[in-house]
Homo-oligomer: A and B are copies of this chain.
Amino acid sequence: MNKLAIPSQLDTTILAETFRLLGDPTRLRILFFCLDEPRSVGDIATSLDLSQSLVSHHLRLLRGARLVRGNRQAKQIFYELADKHVSDMLVDMAHHVCEEGGED
């Protein structure tokens, strides 16, 4: 059973909203950087060579869509992917891009 009814216009909008958030290189880099282990905002900014402000802004968007989740630890806040769905999808898509094979 791989087919599905065409999603409602509302569902489509919600789905698009998620895709849209993934559709920015900076945000994707942040997500991949947090994929293996939780990372502090400062670590993200330094490692990815981004301003702290920019990282915070993006993290807020990602948080809003429940794509990441942050845990405070003393002064720092460590962010990680919100759930396995998200990380699995990222891994899948990364593989997809690497493969670049056209079947059919």
A-B contact pairs, 27 of them (CB 8 A): A2-B91, A4-B94, A4-B95, A6-B32, A6-B35, A7-B97, A12-B25, A12-B28, A12-B29, A12-B32, A13-B25, A15-B93, A18-B23, A18-B93, A18-B97, A19-B19, A19-B20, A19-B22, A19-B23, A19-B28, A20-B24, A22-B23, A66-B102, A83-B103, A83-B104, A84-B104, A89-B96
User: Which residues on the B side are within 8 Å of A94 (C-beta)?
Assistant: 4, 7, 11, 15
Counting chain B CB atoms within 10 Å of each CB, the highest count among A18, A19, A66, A89 belongs to: A19
User: Which residues on the B side are within 8 Å of A85 (C-beta)?
Assistant: 96, 103
Q: How many A residues have CB within 8 A of the partner chain?
A: 46
